[in-house]
Structure 1
Amino acid sequence: MVESRLMKTAEEDQNGPDGLSSDLKREDDLLTVVRMVKDCYPRQIDILNLYAGLYHQSFSARLTELAGSGLETDDCRYLLLWINHYYPHEILNHEDLEGKINTACLGSLLLEDHLDQLEDQYDHKEVIDGSLAEFSCVIRDQSKAQRITVHLESFLSSYKKCVEEFVKGDHSNIHSVVKAHLVCEEQFRDYITGQTGSLSEQQRRGCVETLSALWDCGCRCFIDPIYIELKVCFHDLWTSNWLKGSLPVIDSLLDFLNQKLSDLSDLKPACRQSVLGILHEVVVIRYVKKMMNTRKKIDQQMAAQRITEDAQKINSFFKDEDCTQSLWLGQMLCSLAEILRLQDPESVQLEIISVARAFPDLGDDHVTALLSLKSGLTAADIRSIRQSVKENGTLDASTNHSPLFFSKVKVQRINNVIKQMRLKT
């Protein structure tokens, strides 16, 4: 009867679309035995284990036949997953069967040689192309899995070169490919950081560095075109019309970003949030760069108010997009606005020191650029503030874990020269 059930399934598979799936999943028969048939026989017959043994033998014969039939990679993966995970963990340990079947007497579904051959066929290149989360389930011997994962570092290096070459090309499907790549990068990272014994610390660090470079490469595909257009969006920033509010610079910018973000709607949430976080930083970097490289002295109180309003609008935009990890950028902008608002030299000095301690990469060129925007400070005040920031601004640098920001804001050298000349007059 057991053999006839499997033969019937095999015949159905020849005409059906499910292939190996229906050929293997006959756990319903065992559940029927335990739920409806078992109590019809005397206990000493142990009908459940009798049926389980017969099914196990028939399964083994059928699997041996399938394993020797020249399976494609997907079928090979499915068969290994079924043998090493689904059958022992999902079927024999089903809540209705757990503890009722003597699994120790069943033995292996495939002979060791056949199983080794099947796993060898499922080589490491195919594993990497597939799902890493599935890998440990497919390969029963984790030492074999470890021998494969040691090749990840060289593979990722080659993969990185391929991705970098691809994004340089003119491909119509580049965005869809990069979106898939970002998902793969996330899976790789989860897999590698979760490994405890198969990778050395040096290998893990090398893999993570390569993955970070891959991630940056993918993000640049979406962000670089936007970054180029930001220069146009910020053209009227720090002008009298921006200061008066007659030019909605930030409102226009956010409308532009809203249109661009529609291209990211189908990204996985985690990937999308990361890309948005980078975009948020890029926007604020461009904003601060425009501010620090300006040659104009304008009303400081009005400028401080406008910067604060802009920071709130930008933060609200990204918060509405569920990007909350980068909201510190708005707080940083408000701190810069406070530096402009304050007029007392000592208060200005304390505020700049506070910013320097929060962001140890705030350099003297940035401090000079900020001070050059203020009109109420004497040359002596400016020298004193700069010196105090140098002496006191990095006291907490060794324990500070704030992200780098100001090191990404380049202050043009020619503007520095002009500002230095102003400070001496």
Structure 2
Amino acid sequence: MYTMRDLTALMANMFTTPDLPDASLNQGDAEMMAFFQGIPVEQAVPGTLNFPGSPPQVPSASEEDSETSMSEVSFEHLVLAVDMWTTSMKTKKSKCLIKVFKVLTGKKNKSQPSTVEPDVKAKTRPGLDAWLATVEELKADLDLGRLEASGPLLALERELLVAAAAGGMSQEELVQRQSKVEALYILLRDLVLGVLWRPLEVAPERLRQALAIVSEQELEDRRAAAGSEDSVLAPTRPRRWLQLWRRGVAQVAEERLGGQPAAGAEGLSEAERAFLHLGRTMKEDLEAVVELLLPVFPAEFHVVAAYAESYHEHFAAQLAAMAQFELCERDTYMLLVWVQNLYPNDIISSPKLAAELQDVRLGSLLPPRQIRQLEATFLSDEAAKVKELMGRALELESQDWAQDVPPQRVNGHCHSELASHVMQIISQRQIKAKDITTDLGMQIKQVLLMELAGFFRSYQRAFDKFLERCKQTKNYKANVIANINNCLSFRMSVEQMWQTPPSHVLGPLNELKARGFDSLLQSLLLDLEPLFKRFSQIRWAAPEELMEEILATVAHRLPEFSELQDCFQEELMEVVHLHLVKEYIICLSKRHLVLKTAEHQQQLAGHILYNAALIQHFCTQNGSHATWLDPAIPRLAEIIRLQDPSAIKMEVATYATLYPDFSKDHLSAILVIKGNLSSSEARSILSILDISTRPHKAAHSLFAHIKVG
């Protein structure tokens, strides 16, 4: 007769949730496993796979209580519970509950004697005593944690199957025997999975034993499935211990990755600490699996894949949960870095793991659509940040101009840090995106180029205001030179990053440089203006001396521009070169000089050629590379020297090819000098310019700057 204490313990354990992965149990296992919490030998505790550096797990108070209560439940109670389970597989649910109630209360069925009265001896068939003795021996071995009991237990199961097939045993006795076998298997299962879920805590030989038992049970599951014959016994296979082990691995991954990030990571946000914990834990644990478990586990376990897939699944779940929130700019970047770079490259493709994980299809931590959304957010955030930072840099620079702060001098040149600061901002953002993926690095380059083009327009407007408002400041000219020099730094950086950027991007810089040159040359050009007027006043009587005076004036002012970068000194000299040629041609086109004889025309042509040579030599010596200007004055001198209208026509045609903006008005002003041409001859020469053989667009513009009247 059961005591009240026995019944209380039995009923309590029947409704206790087991500590094993419940998703792995079928209905029968779920009912049985209510009795197996707290088995003192090799009790399975999910999540206790202690990798290097993991703290040892201490049983909780609830676990200790369950062990105590289990010690009070006899093996007979265990068998009785399994007996009721196997019987329930043969009868209707209502009849099973009646039987359970009668067994637990000890009441007799009116038609049958009680099977639990202590004074009624059970009648056994021949050999039953020996069979029960074997069960007790195996029970004792399993209580002592001896995995060697698996072989005899399997033999006992097969013997029972043979007996059931032979049909020489009553169904009641078969149920009783099967219940004892299944109770032993549950004890063995707990022992085996307890070892496999803590593989680094047990001796290697014991681990190999447990692995061999699982492999043996998997083979037996396949054999049972292949046989699939009808039996009076309740179905107990497949037991799927390998599947149970894998689900335990999933719990290990959840506990390992779900732990609190280590303290001490100063300067990191909460999300960044979480990313670091997830990545570091997964990498270290998988490396331990490859190094310590892979050589021991049989191939059918796919131990690396099992751990990698479980860790990946939990890692992905953690990141998916984070991505649901509205992330700050910094956390969006870190999330993308982990998903697109660190996880696939530094973890999955790390030297110790790459070979073992190459056939494991882990996939991405986030779905492609969500990644694209995060990338779009990242690009938008970066564009806004770049615009803000560049605007702040320009504002600080403008304040220095207004406050007349002198620019730095570097290697004899005026220098501003604006270009360096702005391009550093651009470069850092491009590198930041490239650290996520190469493709994202290419995408952000176009975004950054658009933002930089907008900045250049703002820069030009700010510089124009400076030119207008700060002319009287002491360091005005030096700051103008510094900003012109900035154009070189900007241009070199842009061309290095984008090779051939669209012309509209650098357009504001070219305009800024031109405005700067105009400002620097304004005083010099004012000094040259009265000198060029004297050409018409002296009627070209002493043109050589006057041109030498003009060039001497220019030479005197050139040192003012020495703090420009060398390339800009050359460009400035080209502007001076163009101005000298233009002003000289304007003087020739004033219509004040009319020469009636060929001799006078030839004499004037000689003066013009001499002056042209002076201009060309001076400008070339001072750095001008505007060779396109070299024929401009000498070929006009040739038109003045020639007397044959046909020869003049040929020269005009050639000249119009060199300078497509040379118009009839310009030619007419030159022909005025040739006072011996008839009106019809002049019209015939002018008609040459009606023939459209000139290029549609000139590389340089000369006569567009020359107005004649």
TM-score (norm 2): 0.38
User: Which position in structure 2 is the counterpart of 1:287?
Assistant: 584
Q: Does 1:341 align with 2:641?
A: yes
Distance in 2 of aligned mates of 1:411 and 1:180: 37
- Is 2:537 the partner of 1:236? no
Q: CA deviation at 1:159?
A: 1.4
Aligned with 2:464 (options 151, 164, 173): 164
Whole-Å separation in 2 of the counterparts to 1:271 and 1:161: 21
Taking the aligned partners of 1:321 and 1:190, their CA distance within structure 2 comes to: 24
Deviation at 1:322, TM superposition (A): 2.1
Q: 2:452 aligns with which of 152, 177, 186?
A: 152
Question: Could you tell me how far 1:136 is from its partner in structure 2?
Answer: 6.4
RCO higher in structure (CA 8 A, sep ≥6): 1
Match of 1:83 in 2: none
Q: Does 1:366 align with 2:663?
A: no
| In structure 2, distance between residues paired with 1:156 and 1:166 | 15
Q: Once the two structures are aligned, what percentage of the paired residues are identical?
A: 21
Kept in 2, the 8 Å contact 1:284–1:329? The answer is yes
Q: 1:301 aligns with which of 602, 621, 640?
A: 602
**Quick one: distance in 2 between partners of 1:330 and 1:291?**
17
1:313 aligns with 2:614: yes
Written as runs of structure 1 = structure 2, the 5 A alignment for 1:17-416 is 124-125=389-390, 129-131=418-420, 134=424, 138-139=428-429, 140=431, 141-142=433-434, 143=441, 147-169=447-469, 170=471, 171-196=473-498, 204-238=502-536, 240=538, 242-245=540-543, 248-298=545-595, 299-323=600-624, 325-391=625-691, 394-398=692-696, 401-412=698-709
Q: Residue type matched to 2:584 in 1?
A: Y
Contact 1:219–1:275, Cα closer than 8 Å, also in 2: yes
Q: Is the Cα contact below 8 Å between 1:242 and 1:248 reproduced in 2?
A: no
Alpha-carbon distance between aligned partners in 1 of 2:497 and 2:393, rounded to the nearest angstrom = 16
Conservation of the 8 A alpha-carbon contact between 1:300 and 1:374: yes
In the alignment, is the contact (CA less than 8 A) between 1:357 and 1:395 conserved in 2?
yes
**How many residues in Structure 1 have an aligned counterpart in Structure 2?**
295
Separation of aligned partners in 2, 1:149 and 1:375 = 59
2:656 touches 2:662 (CA, 8 Å); kept in 1?
Answer: yes
C-alpha deviation, 1:313, in angstroms: 0.7
Q: After the TM superposition, which of the residue ranges 270-279 and 151-160 deviates more from structure 2?
A: 151-160
1:328-369 Cα offsets, whole Å, 9 max, x none, are 323211001111111111111111111111111111100110
Whether contact under 8 Å (1:243, 1:306) holds in the other structure is no
Between stretches 366-375 and 129-138, larger displacement belongs to 129-138
What is the alpha-carbon root mean square deviation over aligned residues?
3.1
Shift of 1:232: 0.9
Q: 2:480 is aligned with what amino acid?
A: V
Offset at 1:373?
0.9
Distance 1:316 1:336 in 2: 18
> Which deviations, in whole Å up to 9, do the C-alpha atoms of 1:195-236 show, x marking residues without a partner?
449x9x7xx333222122111111111122222222211122
Once residues 669 and 459 of structure 2 are traced to their aligned partners in structure 1, the CA distance between those partners, rounded to angstroms, is 42
- Could you tell me how far 1:374 is from its partner in structure 2? 0.5
Shift of 1:291: 1.1
C-alpha distance 327-206 of structure 1, shift in aligned 2 (>3 A): closer
CA distance in 1, matches of 2:700, 2:497: 27
TM-score between the two structures when normalised by the length of structure 1: 0.62
1:303, distance to aligned residue in structure 2 (A): 1.3
How many Å separate the matches in 2 of 1:273 and 1:67?
A: 52
Paired AA for residue 221 in structure 1 = S
Which has more radius of gyration? 2
Q: Deviations over 1:164-214 (max 9, x none)?
A: 1111232221111111111111222233344449x9x7xx33322212211
